[in-house]
Amino acid sequence: MKTSALKTAIAGILAVSAAGCVVGPDYERPATAVPGRWNTPLGGGETEGAPQIAQWWRSFGDPLLDSLVRRALDANYDLRTAESRIMEARASESLAQSDLWPALNASAAYRRVQSQKPSPVSTDPALGGASVSFSQQGASVSATMLPLGAAGPSVMVSPDFTGSGNSRVTVGTPQGGKGSASRRNNLYQAGFDASWELDIFGGARRGAEAARANREAAEEALRDVRVTLTAEVARQYFNLRGAQASLDIAAKNIELLRGSLELAQSRFDAGLTTMLDVQNATAQLAASEAAVPGHAAEVQYAIHRLGVLLGGEPGLLQNELSSAAPLPAAPPEVPVGLPSDLLRRRPDVRRAERQLAAATALIGAATADLFPRVSLTGSLTGQDDALYGIKRNANMLWSIGPGVSWPVFDAGRIRANIRIQNARQEQALAGYEKAVMSSLEDAENALVAYAQEQNRLFSLEKSAAAGAEAVNLATDLYAKGLVTYLHVLDAERTLSAAEAQCVQSRANVLIHLTALFKALGGGWDVDGDSGENGSETAAG
């Protein structure tokens, strides 16, 4: 009857645990108002088509850029850090999930025990003495000692090396009394004990839910690093090519100004002009030469930055990137999608949403502390008393039963913790809403910058073309003596500035386009990573 009642009680506890409720709020993704269209009017190259920007850098058609991005994704330091954080989050998730399962421990022990107990001994009544015997496996010795006052103290020893038995020392007392026996035992003990805290109110499940959301947030952080990394590699590459193009333009301008100086010098030597023209030409040439070191430094900065982004030393790409190459052309179309796509594509928004889910689950984990904790414990122990093979006693002991603990008084600690978790959830909600609005701001600003830089480049290219014509005309008229050198000087300055600005603007167009791809969340699913998180709603 008692065993049946115990089984019934345990079965009831397990049933309650399986059907137990989950305290705390169930997470639901917050509804955030997002505009249906972009605030910035789209230019000719931008469309609202679904953005296919997983590997947006390939749209520039530059194999070297493709190679740099791929190598950075394989070896970048920030990616390695983010990947290790995912490993940490996965371990934390496993730790939280372990609270849902029983714990089983095994134990074993060995002891050498010596005990004393009364034992009858042999005496010699006639002598009134005592006998002492010692036996050991394979040998025995006995002796009889006579008391004082007899014919004289004597000891009789009778060795026997043929017997067998236990290690035993027996001490006798006179007149047939009792003595004591010393025995040494080998004691072996082994057992198992198990404990299981039943998650009746869902505290452990809420903890596991929070750990899963934190792991997913760490995965989104890794994707965000990928987005930032691919954009930074492309930006530095365009900076490099822009600086190299500026060096090329500066070299051409220097060559042009040297020709102008030679023309001014020859006209001065012929007495057709004054030294003023020669000095103006010299000053213009020196000013153009002064721009070269700045562009050369920009080239080295970009090379060094790219080397570190690829997980190497600053000089890693010195030989590979030192040779100049033209800036790649921007793709003819840029599908930017709709504002609502940002909620799906931006890893920083997705990470903030997962952090909100984790904060919501922790409210339930804290609330569960208000309720009783029910645990089920059991043990099984076996003990064997071996007395040198003469006698063997085996004992088995088992126990099983439930236990309940309930915090009666904690000075408000549990409720204070619940308030803390509620406040953290509010913070996470505000962080998520801010991430959504910031993503919209980034995308809108990137659209504006890209569109306006395209307009600026169009005007600068017209200016450079007109400036080149003006230089040719001014030089020809000056050679004929129809205009002063100031006309040539002004035309050359205008052309030099327009060409330098054109080169920088072409690089800026690509850099702003890179920022647009980054703002749209492109570059994290380079290997077909869907980034779809698991269920975000806990069952109540």
DSSP-assigned beta bridge partners for residue 119: 179
Enumerate the domain spans of the chain.
59-99+199-320+343-368+411-533, 111-195
- What is the rounded distance in angstroms from the CA atom of residue 44 to the CA atom of residue 458? 13
- Pick the closest to residue 170 from 209, 107, 123 (CA basis): 123
N-to-C CA span, the chain: 37
DSSP-assigned beta bridge partners for residue 396: 382
Say which amino acid occupies 520. Answer: L
- Pick the closest to residue 526 from 54, 71, 79 (CA basis): 54
Q: What is the pLDDT of residue 273?
A: 84
Q: Are 82 and 222 in contact (CB under 8 A)?
A: yes
Q: Are 129 and 123 in contact (CB under 8 A)?
A: yes
Query: What is the CATH code of the structural domain delimited by 59-99+199-320+343-368+411-533?
Result: 1.20.1600.10
**DSSP codes joined into one string, 141-186:** EEEEEPPTTSS---EEEEEESS-----EEEE--GGG-EEEEEEEEE
3-state secondary structure 304-334: HHHHHHCCCCCCCCHHHHCCCCCCCCCCCCE
Residue whose structure tokens are 């493709």 = 66
- Pick the closest to residue 435 from 30, 26, 28, 27 (CA basis): 30
- The set of residues, in sequence order, having a beta carbon less than 8 Å from that of 252 and lying 6+ positions away, is 499
* Angle ∠(389,392,395) on CA atoms, nearest 5: 155
Q: What is the pLDDT of residue 532?
A: 55
- What is the rounded distance in angstroms from the CA atom of residue 488 to the CA atom of residue 277? 10
DSSP reduced 3-state for 187 = strand
Q: Which alpha helices (H) appear in 480-526, and where do they start and end?
A: 485-519
Give pTM, 2 decimals: 0.78
- What is the rounded distance in angstroms from the CA atom of residue 328 to the CA atom of residue 324? 12
- What is the rounded distance in angstroms from the CA atom of residue 24 to the CA atom of residue 517? 40
Q: Are 65 and 234 in contact (CB under 8 A)?
A: yes
The dihedral sign for the CA sequence 213, 214, 218, 220: positive
Residue 519 tokens, joined: 């703002």
Q: Which alpha helices (H) appear in 191-312, and where do they start and end?
A: 203-269, 275-309
Encode the chain (540 residues) as per-residue pLDDT tens digits.
Answer: 455 555 555 555 555 555 558 899 999 999 988 898 998 877 655 555 556 788 999 999 999 999 999 999 999 999 999 999 999 999 999 999 998 899 989 988 888 877 665 555 444 444 444 444 444 444 444 444 444 444 444 444 444 434 434 444 444 444 444 555 567 777 778 888 899 989 999 999 999 999 999 999 999 999 999 999 999 999 999 999 999 999 999 999 899 889 889 988 998 999 888 899 899 999 989 999 999 999 999 999 999 999 999 999 999 999 999 999 999 999 988 888 889 989 999 999 999 999 999 999 999 999 999 999 999 998 888 777 654 444 455 678 888 888 898 888 888 999 999 999 999 999 999 999 999 999 999 999 999 999 999 999 999 999 999 999 999 999 999 888 898 888 888 898 899 889 999 999 999 999 999 999 999 998 877 565 655 554 443 333
